[in-house]
Amino acid sequence: MPLERTYANNRILVTGGAGFIGSHLCEKLLAEGAEVICVDNYFTGSRRNIAHLLSNPLFEAMRHDVTFPLYVEVDAIFNLACPASPIHYQRDPVQTTKTSVHGAINMLGLAKRLGARIFQASTSEVYGDPLVHPQPEEYWGNVNPIGIRSCYDEGKRCAETLFFDYWRQHQLPIKVARIFNTYGPRMQPGDGRVVSSFIVQALKGDPITVFGDGRQTRSFCYVDDLVEAIAKLMLTDETVTGPINVGNSSEFTIRELAEKIIKFTDSRSQLVFKPSPEDDPKQRRPELAKAKALLDWEPKVALDEGLKETIAYFRRTLELI
């Protein structure tokens, strides 16, 4: 049976493989002996993220949009394709919803044809602006279905529905992870996410833009920890479907994050406060009991350590721009 506790000698499809998280996942799978097909339409992904992998004979990069069917032969599928930052997913909200929904339908159809295991990268955004804190997987969320973030939030919620209906109706082996705020090298400088935005502003000496009063909270997971978790989830037995929260349970205010970044960059940037965007969550922190119990996993990289690695990456990146 493929994927029995190992990726070695298996062919794995990663959609969104040239993206921030996807490129790190491709690296990990190759390091564990898998053959990797990376699919991306480069709407937010970048060939620069996978350039160092192109010479590997076990790696193949394919330009493709998952809203169209794909016909390949693989043992397992990681479905990560979808713009994940508000700036990007609000640029073309109809396409964002189509990527989540049509993309899920096409990848589930491929998995069904092949009898392959399939992973869905869902998101903490399915909880919306939560009324329960921290957020357990059993919480149904508090989501605006017609707001400016709905293309992403509801698209991901619908994708989860499709995955669980394929599991119930077709006994398809599925894995669903709800990914909380993740950061690290290969984030895009202009993606509008709080970590990348603050770092770029601090390195340039520009004012750091804090939306709201800065007291809203987030938990930040370093990308290496995140990839370790989803790789472990895919190798669990078929009784483990998820959804499983994956993230870091250490909680910080946005103001605390900004002050750490100013300190680590030795920046003279000052904080500038602006009104909160529509439907911006006031707090976000995962309940990780399931991840610890089912995956024997918990994050290892502290925020200070991860920020220093990420800042070093952005220093190099900004020198090239």
Report pLDDT digits (tens) over 54-109. Answer: 999 999 999 999 999 999 999 999 999 998 877 777 888 999 999 999 999 999 99
Distance CA 265, CA 273 (A): 20
Distance CA 65, CA 44 (A): 12
Residue that has been written with the tokens 């390949």 in this structure: 72
Residue that has been written with the tokens 């997971």 in this structure: 221
Distance CA 16, CA 88 (A): 14
Q: In 3D, which of 149, 139, 159, 145 has the Cα closest to residue 80?
A: 159
Rounded to two decimals, the pTM is: 0.94
Distance CA 58, CA 198 (A): 37
Catalytic sites, residue numbers: 152
Domain edges within the chain: 11-186+221-249+285-300
pLDDT tens for the chain, 321 residues long, are: 467 789 999 999 999 999 999 999 999 999 999 999 999 999 999 999 999 999 999 999 999 999 999 999 999 999 999 988 777 778 889 999 999 999 999 999 999 999 999 999 999 999 998 999 999 999 999 999 999 999 989 999 999 999 999 999 999 999 999 999 999 999 998 888 899 999 999 999 999 999 888 888 999 999 999 999 999 999 999 999 999 999 999 999 999 999 999 999 999 999 999 988 776 778 889 999 999 999 999 999 999 999 999 999 999 988 754
User: Could you tell me the CATH superfamily of domain 11-186+221-249+285-300?
Assistant: NAD(P)-binding Rossmann-like Domain (3.40.50.720)
* 40: its two tokens: 């991306």
Helix, strand or coil, per DSSP, at residue 218: strand
Q: Is 277 exposed, middle or buried (0-12, 13-18, 19+ CB in 10 A)?
A: middle
- In sequence order, the 6+-apart residues with CB closer than 8 A to the CB of 138 are none
Torsion sign, CA atoms 127, 190, 42, 230: negative
Q: Which helix (H) or strand (E) holds 230?
A: helix 223-234
